Amino acid sequence: MDTSRIRSELRVDQVLEQWPQTAAVFIQAKTACVGCYLRRFCTLQDVASFYGLRAETLVENLQEHV
Alpha-carbon span 64 to 40, nearest angstrom: 22
**Per-residue confidence (pLDDT) for residue 31, from 0 to 100:** 96
**pLDDT of 1-57, one tens digit each?**
455 689 999 999 999 999 999 999 999 999 999 999 999 999 999 999 999 999 999
Using CA of residue 50, residue 64, residue 60, residue 40, what is the dihedral sign? negative
Whether 31 is in a domain gets the answer yes
Q: How many domains does the chain have?
A: 1
DSSP assignment string, 19-37: -GGGHHHHHHTT-S-TT-G
Look up the domain containing 46 and give its range. Answer: 12-64
Whether 26 is in a domain gets the answer yes
**Per-residue confidence (pLDDT) for residue 66, from 0 to 100:** 87
Using CA of residue 12, residue 18, residue 23, residue 25, what is the dihedral sign? negative
**Per-residue confidence (pLDDT) for residue 23, from 0 to 100:** 97
Whether 6 is in a domain gets the answer no
The pLDDT mean for the chain works out to: 93
pTM: 0.88
Whether 1 is in a domain gets the answer no
Phi, psi of 38 (to 5 degrees): -85, -5
**pLDDT of 11-25, one tens digit each?**
999 999 999 999 999
